[in-house]
Structure 1
Amino acid sequence: MRSGEGWRLDDSGVLVIDGPVSPVETEAGVAPWRPFANQIQAVTVMEGAQVEGFSRLFEGCCRLTAIDGMGNLTYLEGSADVEDASGMFAGCSELRRIDLSAFDGSCLRSAWGMFQDCCELCEVVFPIQGFPGLREAGGMFRGCHSLRSFDFAALGAPNLEDLSDFFRMCTGLDEVSFVGARTGRLVTTERMFYGCRSLERIVGNDSLQTGRIENLSGMFRFCARLSDLDCASWDTVSVREANFLFGDCLALSQLDVSAWRMPHLQMGRGMFARTPIERVDLASWSAHELIDTSYMFDGCALLQEVSLGDMDLSNILRAQNMFAGCAGLERIAHEGRGMSRVRNVARLFYGCKKLTHVPEGFVDLGRAEDAYRAREDCPMPLL
């Protein structure tokens, strides 16, 4: 039997929390049962249970399979960390279901990695009132390989700003719904679905509120089974970074981004890399702040045509591998200012076997600092 103020751990691995609990006096402020985390198999929260904070409360309980009475868990009066639930269940690798329906999450502002590496987690029942004050949820389900579906409306978090790495490496996730979700305060969705290789269906993606989002980098990278993505109506006016946004989406052959406006886009590195798209229309983007388009269409072997309209490309500094491996590329349409300041164009048109013409002024390969193999295996004449 292990015990302390407000808690006890019996020999069968049941942790009972039945009174006020103070954390161990360490810099991290961890729960007092942390040294015995790998012995805990079940948790029972009794009426009167109080903790100083929720952060890392059950972190590392790798044998935990059941939690009862979460509705009884409250915080000590005057606690300073009640807004933070970061890593609360992180590493509970055998926990399959968590019922938070009666848990009071109204005070939470941060839930970084709350369920990170809960490898067997299949279901979370969220509080009835949701998490109305939640702002940061980066990595909330990162590494939850057994999670199959998710409904954002149930999260009840209209003030969310950060969803970076939210589902990163949720390799079993196949369906997500945004229907009824309020996402108008989002600022970043960086790597949100990164590595979700089983993801096939996103319901309500067209109604996702994106007007404040600044960073879309890697949002769908390595979503190898995603073949349909309705994002044509997204408001992208605030986006600054979109590196590898659709990179390595190996089944994404149809993608309409023709109505997007991205006047503040600076980083477009690898944005469409290795996708099976055939045509891309970026004419309405007006991305005059672009600095980096390196690897933007790298490995798009089926790509035939790219339309850039009158986009101003004069600020681009890096464009290496921009069209490398685009063996089917026949036409680049562009009427605006070309890449006059670009420094690196190495392998720019490498392997573009069908590209015989590039608009006048699009790029001057002779003026770049690095033009290594820029037009190797490409019949286009040197500009």
Structure 2
Amino acid sequence: MVLVAFDPNKNSDGTAVSGGKNVILPYGDYTINNRTRGRNEWIKQVKISSTLLKSVAGWAGSNRAALTIPAKTTGSALNTVITDSYNRPFQNYAGNTLNLSGLDTSNMTSMDSMFSGCSNLTSITLSNFNTKQVTNMSHMFEGCRSLTSINLDSLSAPLVTTMDSMFKGCSNLKSINLNSFGTSNVKSMSAMFSGCSSLTSIKLDNLNTPNLENVSFMFENCSSLTSINLDNFNTPKLETMSYMFEDCDKLFSISLKNFNTSRVESVDHMFYHCDSLTEIIGSDKWTFPNLKNMDYMFCWCSSLEKINISNWQIGSNLDSMRNTFYACNKLQELALSSWKVDNIRFMSSTFNKCSSLKEIDLSKWDLANLSIMSWAFTDCSNLESIKFGSGTPQLSTISNAFEGCTKLHLLDLSTFDLSQANVSNLFTVNVATPFLVKISENSECLKNYNYLNDNRIPPIVVKSGENGHFGTLATPQYAFESCYTYQSLDSIDLTENNPEIQNHLKELEQDLQANTSNYKFTGWKFEEGEGVTEIEKRMNGSFTAQWKDDVLTDHSTYPKEITFGNHDITYDDVSYKGEENGQDATAKIDLTDTRGTSGNGFSLKVSRTKWQGKKTGAELVGTLSFEEKNLVNSNNFPIHGGDKTIELKKENEEIEVLSADKNQSGGQTTMTLDNFQLMVPGTSKKVQDQFDCTVTWTLSDTP
């Protein structure tokens, strides 16, 4: 045992320590040699200053001795008493074990850094610690990286106001229970558990925190923690939550149901790099009328699919949202339209890499003070719509803001002043993508922007068609002259009815040339392109020039061989029905006139040769007839013919089937011919034979 000598009259430090393997600070009635008086003295109560205690602890640690202050078991003397409060008596103690069950700490008001830096400490006993007068526990166990557990059941801290970094860097601490702590006066818990990277269980269920103001870094780098429940926290005075859960990369659930955030000014980095976080219970009740800083709040929350923030009341103090939702790549929606944002200045990378978002609505935000917006929406690869609010922001930089937004085809920047802004790589994508941005008429920056350099092309390709080409213009051409417009994009018409498209198509038409002289341009045909939404299909669509051959074309189908059957010779008048391939014989007239705009007229006539016997050469007198039906012209021109019966009585006599006057034949003309019959009079001379004739259809390209 090592004894410590004192001057009982002055109650001051005497000889510090002497050799030994274990250091035990005594209590009770001990005879201690007082060398100044040359006699032994009885000391009823051993008192020691924290300065001397620090010397004893330092010696014990450096000599690998265990330091014990045992609790008394007999006698009337008090435990060893610390007479002052602020010299961090066990700071950087190098030993493994501390038993302080007999240490009387009732006079201590500060335990700041009391055990900080005890990096070898594996066991500590604080069973009789009295902390009723303590107001400061900052850094108390900071750096005790070998501790795996600690029993704090006997500790009560009714007057403590700060617990900053209390367990910071206790990297092997696996569990902790603070339910016995009285924390009603605590103002700051900043970095309280920071770096407790092995902590898997933490009990804070009974903590009362009505005066808590600061929880910044509280659980920073608690990288083994999977869930945490702080529902009992009452925080009406809370002002900062910055970095609170930073790098808690296994934390998937956080419950903060009763958190009062009405005075909070900063939440920057609050959930930074919480890679596994899937739910934040209670966030729907938060309100932030005094919030100033949201930088990196949800940055790298890559498992978060939903955040209920629609009811957040954001006050007019919000100034910065740098990287707020950066790399929240599973986040599918953000209800931001109800936020009152009046003074935002910094939005760099706010939504960067939010690759599942389809819409961002900032329509109720006042962006008049916005200054920096670089990379704000970069790599939002599924984003289809961004709605900006009021105000005319005079930006200093907006570079790369929409880079990688491959599905963003329409964008309204008409209220933005970019005259002094860095706009490099503003719309860059990897493949050519149709794009249209609404700008103000004095936005020279976006008028002269090199959209093609960003792989952005105007909407809707214009093609010359297979029978024509553009004369002087390079290809491809587009329905819009450039990627900018002054038109409203809310319900933009992307058809040929849009005046801007209409006028540009007329200009392109002037440069169209037919590949051969007989082809004439007739108009434009629109075809949708690839895409999921209608806008996307239209933007990827095309207008193709239509050409017509300047000729009269006959697509009619005439009977090739009509038979009238085998019959007995009779001297009565008889009509025989014509068949082809076992069916009633029919024909269809189909004429297309593409000459000029209305056609040049035509006439269709029919004739036959005589009926002649195949063996005998005898002639048979007979009349071939058929009926005309269903005459139609696609342009409703008055075609002559239809609804009549044609009779071919004489050899080589031409009979008109139908005709059209000049400028009255354009388009397609169709008519059906049926009821083909052969009428043989009884008076005609007949012999036994097979009789044939040839029918000739003659189309003339003039009336």
TM over 0.5: yes
Residue 318 of structure 1 contacts residue 343 of structure 1 at CA under 8 Å; is this kept in 2?
Answer: yes
Residue 286 of structure 1 contacts residue 312 of structure 1 at CA under 8 Å; is this kept in 2?
Answer: yes
Structure 1 segment 297-312 matched on structure 2, within 5 A: 297-309=377-389, 311-312=390-391
TM-score under structure 2 length normalisation:
0.49
Q: CA deviation at 1:52?
A: 6.8
Whether 1:105 and 2:183 are equivalent positions in the alignment is yes
Q: CA deviation at 1:160?
A: 1.1
Residue 439 of structure 2 contacts residue 446 of structure 2 at CA under 8 Å; is this kept in 1?
Answer: no
Whether 1:54 and 2:134 are equivalent positions in the alignment is no
Counterpart amino acid of 2:97?
A: G
Residue 104 of structure 1 contacts residue 127 of structure 1 at CA under 8 Å; is this kept in 2?
Answer: no
Counterpart amino acid of 2:151?
A: D
| Alpha-carbon distance in structure 2 between the residues aligned to 1:255 and 1:74 | 42
Larger Rg: 2
Secondary structure at the counterpart of residue 42 of structure 1: strand
1:12-62 Cα offsets, whole Å, 9 max, x none, are 624426322999x9xx9632x445442233342414356573111101111
Secondary structure at the counterpart of residue 155 of structure 1: coil
Residue 339 of structure 1 contacts residue 364 of structure 1 at CA under 8 Å; is this kept in 2?
Answer: no
Residue 103 of structure 1 contacts residue 127 of structure 1 at CA under 8 Å; is this kept in 2?
Answer: no
C-alpha spacing 1:13/1:345, structure 2 compared with 1 (3 Å)? same
**Residue 126 of structure 2 aligns with which residue?**
44
Whether 1:196 and 2:281 are equivalent positions in the alignment is no
C-alpha spacing 1:114/1:221, structure 2 compared with 1 (3 Å)? same
| Alpha-carbon distance in structure 2 between the residues aligned to 1:301 and 1:202 | 26
Structure 1 segment 137-286 matched on structure 2, within 5 A: 137-238=215-316, 239-275=318-354, 276-286=356-366
Counterpart amino acid of 1:181?
A: F
Structure 1 segment 68-107 matched on structure 2, within 5 A: 68-74=151-157, 82-107=160-185
Residue 307 of structure 1 contacts residue 334 of structure 1 at CA under 8 Å; is this kept in 2?
Answer: no
- Between 1:119-128 and 1:84-93, the stretch displaced more is 119-128
Residue 303 of structure 2 contacts residue 328 of structure 2 at CA under 8 Å; is this kept in 1?
Answer: yes
| Alpha-carbon distance in structure 2 between the residues aligned to 1:332 and 1:184 | 35
Residue 140 of structure 1 contacts residue 165 of structure 1 at CA under 8 Å; is this kept in 2?
Answer: yes
CA RMSD of aligned residues (A): 3.0
Residue 345 of structure 1 contacts residue 374 of structure 1 at CA under 8 Å; is this kept in 2?
Answer: no
| Alpha-carbon distance in structure 2 between the residues aligned to 1:329 and 1:214 | 30
Q: CA deviation at 1:323?
A: 0.4
Counterpart amino acid of 2:122?
A: I
Q: CA deviation at 1:88?
A: 0.5
C-alpha spacing 1:258/1:127, structure 2 compared with 1 (3 Å)? closer
Q: CA deviation at 1:375?
A: 4.8
**Residue 367 of structure 2 aligns with which residue?**
287
Percent of aligned pairs sharing the same letter: 24
C-alpha spacing 1:67/1:156, structure 2 compared with 1 (3 Å)? farther
Residue 323 of structure 2 contacts residue 351 of structure 2 at CA under 8 Å; is this kept in 1?
Answer: yes
- Between 1:51-60 and 1:2-11, the stretch displaced more is 2-11
**Residue 13 of structure 1 aligns with which residue?**
97
Residue 365 of structure 1 contacts residue 382 of structure 1 at CA under 8 Å; is this kept in 2?
Answer: no
Residue 287 of structure 2 contacts residue 314 of structure 2 at CA under 8 Å; is this kept in 1?
Answer: no
Residue 56 of structure 1 contacts residue 85 of structure 1 at CA under 8 Å; is this kept in 2?
Answer: yes
Secondary structure at the counterpart of residue 284 of structure 2: helix
Structure 1 segment 362-381 matched on structure 2, within 5 A: 363-365=443-445, 375-380=453-458, 381=482
C-alpha spacing 1:12/1:268, structure 2 compared with 1 (3 Å)? closer
**Residue 192 of structure 2 aligns with which residue?**
114
Secondary structure at the counterpart of residue 232 of structure 2: helix
Whether 1:346 and 2:430 are equivalent positions in the alignment is no
| Alpha-carbon distance in structure 1 between the residues aligned to 2:104 and 2:156 | 10
Secondary structure at the counterpart of residue 38 of structure 1: coil
| Alpha-carbon distance in structure 2 between the residues aligned to 1:286 and 1:12 | 60
**Residue 316 of structure 1 aligns with which residue?**
395
**Residue 147 of structure 2 aligns with which residue?**
64
| Alpha-carbon distance in structure 2 between the residues aligned to 1:86 and 1:305 | 45
| Alpha-carbon distance in structure 1 between the residues aligned to 2:284 and 2:151 | 38
| Alpha-carbon distance in structure 1 between the residues aligned to 2:239 and 2:24 | 40
Q: CA deviation at 1:190?
A: 0.4
| Alpha-carbon distance in structure 2 between the residues aligned to 1:182 and 1:366 | 45
C-alpha spacing 1:289/1:35, structure 2 compared with 1 (3 Å)? closer
In structure 2, runs of 5+ residues without a counterpart are 1-21, 26-47, 58-66, 69-94, 459-481, 485-703
| Alpha-carbon distance in structure 1 between the residues aligned to 2:302 and 2:343 | 29
C-alpha spacing 1:264/1:375, structure 2 compared with 1 (3 Å)? farther
1:30 maps to which of 89, 104, 113: 113
In structure 1, runs of 5+ residues without a counterpart are none
**Residue 296 of structure 1 aligns with which residue?**
376
- Between 1:41-50 and 1:296-305, the stretch displaced more is 41-50
| Alpha-carbon distance in structure 1 between the residues aligned to 2:385 and 2:117 | 60
- Between 1:355-364 and 1:337-346, the stretch displaced more is 355-364
| Alpha-carbon distance in structure 2 between the residues aligned to 1:350 and 1:160 | 43
Residue 38 of structure 1 contacts residue 60 of structure 1 at CA under 8 Å; is this kept in 2?
Answer: no
- Between 1:104-113 and 1:352-361, the stretch displaced more is 352-361
Residue 348 of structure 1 contacts residue 374 of structure 1 at CA under 8 Å; is this kept in 2?
Answer: no
- Between 1:356-365 and 1:109-118, the stretch displaced more is 356-365
| Alpha-carbon distance in structure 1 between the residues aligned to 2:401 and 2:222 | 34
C-alpha spacing 1:148/1:29, structure 2 compared with 1 (3 Å)? closer
1:84-108 Cα offsets, whole Å, 9 max, x none, are 2111101111212221112122222
| Alpha-carbon distance in structure 2 between the residues aligned to 1:74 and 1:230 | 36
Q: CA deviation at 1:200?
A: 0.5
1:257-307 Cα offsets, whole Å, 9 max, x none, are 122221111111111111121121211112211111111101111112212
Higher strand share: 2
Q: How many residues align?
A: 370
| Alpha-carbon distance in structure 2 between the residues aligned to 1:61 and 1:374 | 60
- Give the structure, 1 or 2, with the largest relative contact order (CA under 8 Å, sep 6 or more): 1
| Alpha-carbon distance in structure 2 between the residues aligned to 1:56 and 1:316 | 44
- Between 1:112-121 and 1:102-111, the stretch displaced more is 102-111
